[in-house]
Amino acid sequence: MKYCSECAAAVSLKVPDGDDRPRYVCDHCEIIHYQNPRVVVGCLPTVGDKVLLCRRAIEPRLGFWTIPAGFMENGETMLAGALRETREEADAKVKNESLYRLFDIPHINQVYVFFRGELDGDFGIGPESLESRLFSEDEIPWSELAFPVVTDILVDYFDDRRRNDYPIRLGKPGPLWAEHVNWNFDHS
C-alpha cells in the first residue's frame, strides 16, 4: 500500500501506538489501514454416493478438479456466498445445506468455510469451469485435485458418509498443504 484511501496522502508501515504489529498508517490523516484475512466459501454438493466437482477454467490450477468455491463478497452471508459460487461454477442449486469444514490458513491470510448439501436438480458449467461432473469415491481423480483442502474435504466426506456422521471440523489442511503453499485462491 502506498497511498491512503481516505485522503490520498502517502502511508508508512509502522506499529501504531497501542498495537502490536506493523500497519499502514496515513502520514497525513493518521488513519490506520487494517488488512484482514480473506474468506473463501464453498459447497460440496452431493447426490447419493457421489459428489459434484468442477474442472477449473482459470488459474491457479487451471484444468484441475475442485469443489465450487471462491471469495465471499461484501454484503453476503457465508452460506449465500457458498451457494452463489456453486451456481457460478457448476450452474447448480443445493438444498439441505449444513456447515461442514473450516480451515484457518494464516500463512496466506485466508479462512475457508465449506458447507455440504444435496444437489437440487441439474448442473452444468459456469464461466470459471471447463466441465462439472458427479464422482463416486472410486472415480475421484485424486492426482488431479486442484488444492489440498479439496483432498482433505473429500477424504473426510467419504469417511463420514460410511459412518453417517458429519461433524463440523475446524483446523488446518492436512500434510499436503505445506507442499503447496502457493495454491491459494487469488483474484489479483
Q: Please determine whether the domains at 1-35 and 38-180 fall in the same fold group of CATH.
A: no
Q: Over 80: is that where the pLDDT of 1 sits?
A: yes
Q: Which of 56, 78, 188 is nearest to 133 (CA)?
A: 56
What amino acid is encoded at 57 in this protein?
A: A
Torsion of CA 159, 162, 165, 167, to 10 degrees: 10
Q: pLDDT band for 161, please (50, 70, 90 cuts).
A: very high
Place of cell 481516505: 6
Question: Hey, where are the domains in the chain?
Answer: 1-35, 38-180
Q: pLDDT band for 174, please (50, 70, 90 cuts).
A: low
Burial of 75 (0-12, 13-18, 19+ CB in 10 A): exposed
| Fold entry, domain 1-35 | Ubiquitin Ligase Nedd4; Chain: W; (2.20.70)
- Partner residues linked to 43 by β-bridges: 115
Q: What percent of the chain has pLDDT over 90?
A: 88
Instruction: Over range 154-173, report the average pLDDT.
Output: 92
**Mean pLDDT, the chain, as a whole number?**
92
What is the C-alpha separation between 60 and 40, in angstroms, rounded?
14
CATH superfamily of the 38-180 domain: Nucleoside Triphosphate Pyrophosphohydrolase (3.90.79.10)
Q: What pLDDT, on the 0 to 100 scale, is given for residue 85?
A: 98
Q: Over 90: is that where the pLDDT of 176 sits?
A: no
State the DSSP string of 65-105. Answer: EE-SEEEPPTT--HHHHHHHHHHHHH---EEEEEEEEEEEE
Residues 20-67: pLDDT tens digits? 999 999 999 999 999 999 999 999 999 999 999 999 999 999 999 999
pTM of the model: 0.84
Q: Which of 64, 66, 63, 43 is nearest to 53 (CA)?
A: 66
171 compared with 132, residue with greater pLDDT: 132
